[in-house]
Amino acid sequence: MPEITVVCATGPRQVVELRHAATPGATAVHVLQALRQPLGLDAAALQAALDDGRLGVWGKPVRTDHVLREGDRLEVYRPLTVDPKVARRARFVRQGAKTAGLFAKRRPGAKAGY
């Protein structure tokens, strides 16, 4: 029986990691349905993850019918709450142009841009 690690982020800085001995030929859906309660996923959250395709194996997106193998790490991804580009712009505005960015730490007396 192949042993699979299932990782699910239930909230910010909250990660649940479980090991599961799956039957040979088990797909991502079968494993998630078997581990729904221990992972802390309700039926709606599990269905949303399956519908949106928020599954991956070792960081690579996979479909729900992906057959899992020995040593796979099945990951259930949460939807983003903030667009990363918007968050970066807000951080830049908050920190200011002098203290953020590529040229924030200049040597005294150095030319601009170096």
Q: pLDDT (tens digit, 0 to 9) for every residue of the chain, 114 residues total? A: 778 888 887 777 878 888 888 888 888 877 777 776 666 666 666 667 666 768 889 989 888 888 888 888 988 887 778 898 998 888 888 876 666 666 566 677 777 655
How far is the CA of 15 from the CAs of 20, 39, 50, 58, in angstroms? 16, 9, 19, 15
Cβ 22 vs Cβ 2: under 8 Å: yes
Strands ordered across the beta sheet of 14-21: 14-21, 3-11, 73-76, 55-57, 60-61
Q: What top-level class would CATH report for the domain 3-76?
A: alpha beta
Cβ 31 vs Cβ 22: under 8 Å: yes
pTM listed for this prediction = 0.65
Structure tokens at 83: 């667009």
| pLDDT score recorded for residue 58 | 92
| pLDDT score recorded for residue 1 | 73
